[in-house]
Amino acid sequence: MKLLSLKKVHDGRYLKNYELTYENKAGKNKVYEIISRKELHDAADLGKSTSGVSIIAFQGDKMLLLKEFRMGINRSVYNLCAGMLNEGESMEDCIRRELYEETGLSVKNIVQILPPSYAAVAISDVKTNIAIVEAEGEITGGHTSANEQIRAAFYTKDQLREMLQTEEFSSRSQLAAYFFINK
């Protein structure tokens, strides 16, 4: 596979749409569409920088999940606390800010920040870190924007076992819950 060209086709407020033209292994051109949060100029820019964080948070023997309305699917699903890295913000500060904004909780301890990984590799070059944190405090609402509908709660392993069979999740939160109950 050989990238022949990269062309921006739409410049949205948060996402930019690109067409990538490849020469496939049969020697024919293939146009592939992607979205990015970053301005891309050439192939070297694809997946170059980290955009944000997903947070796997625990308090004691319970795991934090958000039930949030996602406009892209027009329904609420279980998800991890997550958000975008602000310009000039450290990853640690982003983790603290996002956890507070979406739940009212504080970070007791950042256990680990995994290296950046691709969030939706089939359609985007967006890279995020996954952070594992111990949270403290009480869940409170009212910290999010008018464009977010989020209900945060902690769940036991038994609750998560049942939820994994009956509820809808984002992939990342489904995997995190599965490994939490099976560790």
pLDDT score at 183: 82
Q: How far apart are CA 43 and CA 54, in angstroms?
A: 26
pLDDT score at 106: 97
The answer, as to whether pTM is greater than 0.85, is: yes
pLDDT score at 143: 73
pLDDT score at 67: 96
pLDDT score at 99: 96
pLDDT score at 148: 81
DSSP-based three-state secondary structure for 98 = helix
| Below-50 pLDDT ranges, the chain | none
pLDDT score at 46: 93
pLDDT score at 152: 95
pLDDT score at 159: 98
DSSP annotation of 43 reads G
How many CB atoms sit inside 10 A of residue 40's CB? 19
pLDDT score at 4: 94
Percent of the chain residues past pLDDT 90, beyond the cut? 88
pLDDT score at 116: 96
Reading phi first (left if > 0) and then psi (alpha if -120 to 50, else beta), residue 104 is in left
- Taking only the tens place, the pLDDT of each residue in 147-168 is 888 999 999 999 999 999 999 9
Amino acid at 163: M
